[in-house]
Chain A
Amino acid sequence: AQTVTQSQPEMSVQEAETVTLSCTYDTSESDYYLFWYKQPPSRQMILVIRQEAYKQQNATENRFSVNFQKAAKSFSLKISDSQLGDAAMYFCAYRRAGANSKLTFGKGITLSVRP
């Protein structure tokens, strides 16, 4: 079974600084997708970034980028120029390629941003 591990329950970053959130996963599949979701206090689930396993290039969305290490099964999220609005819970998630496959989440990490 696939598992997603987020070992840090909480992290803190100074506004305008850079922070990296860690995620590791375990799978025997070679083709899959990885996601980072943001959940602010409103509890809404917001997709931050998505990475296809077959792509070697790391995904980037504005201030958000990932460091995808397929061999190490590591998928970390880097937030640059942190803003107060980045404070939220962040979930790493995995989904096997193929139609209608399940989405598996890590336990999440709470990020706080200090002004």
Chain B
Amino acid sequence: NAGVTQTPKFQVLKTGQSMTLQCAQDMNHEYMSWYRQDPGMGLRLIHYSVGAGITDQGEVPNGYNVSRSTTEDFPLRLLSAAPSQTSVYFCASVGRGAGNTIYFGEGSWLTVV
């Protein structure tokens, strides 16, 4: 089925550990992005990419790295996890055109202890 696939769905990390949240889409979308959702804060943009080899920072990029080596994949890396990174993470993708439907992954629940 077409869509955005996020893995893992749940993860518990210890402070200082590293991990990668995976995001893949099979719709040949150029634009992909990562958001974090915290209570009372809505969804905040972490990083985004407008195509393979192109990434840029969003509203809250500190502590996160991204890369876009292929159109399909847009992984989010936490190099040294901190309790402040406990959140729900969403990956989203959309085709060219601002009015196009935006597809979201199902979310990844991350807890840093």
Which A residues fall within an 8 A CB radius of B? 6, 9, 32-33, 35, 43-45, 47, 50, 52, 91, 95-108
With A and B bound together, what is the CA distance between A50 and B49 in angstroms? 23
Given A43-B88, A43-B107, A100-B50, A105 contacting B98 (CB threshold 8 A): no
Extra 13 A-B pairs, beta carbons < 8 Å, given A47-B102, A99-B97, A104-B45: A32-B98, A44-B106, A45-B92, A52-B99, A95-B98, A98-B98, A99-B30, A100-B30, A102-B33, A103-B92, A103-B94, A105-B42, A105-B43
Given contacts A43-B88, A100-B30, A102-B58, contact A107 B41 (CB under 8 A): yes
B104 touches A44 (CB 8 A): yes
A98 to B31 Cα, complex, angstroms: 12
Report the interface size for chain B: residues with CB under 8 A from the other chain. 28
Q: Which residue on chain A has the smallest CB distance to residue B92?
A: A103
Q: Which 5 A-B pairs have the closest CB atoms?
A: A107-B42, A45-B104, A100-B50, A105-B43, A105-B42
Q: Confirm or deny: B48 has a beta carbon within 8 angstroms of a beta carbon on chain A.
A: yes
Contact digits for B70-112, partner A, Cβ 8 Å, 1 yes 0 no:
0000000000000000001010101011110110101100000
For residue B22, give the distance in angstroms from its CB to the closest CB of chain A.
18
Most central of A43, A44, A96, A100 by chain B CB within 10 Å: A100
A58-B35 Cα distance, complex, nearest whole Å: 29
Chain A: minimal CB distance from B101 (Å): 6
Are A45 and B90 in contact, with the CB atoms below 8 A?
Answer: yes
User: Which chain A residue lies CB-closest to B48?
Assistant: A102
Some 23 contacts from A to B, beta carbons below 8 A apart, are A9-B40, A33-B99, A43-B37, A43-B88, A44-B106, A44-B107, A45-B90, A47-B102, A91-B42, A95-B98, A95-B99, A98-B98, A99-B96, A99-B97, A100-B30, A100-B31, A100-B96, A102-B45, A102-B58, A103-B45, A103-B102, A105-B35, A107-B42
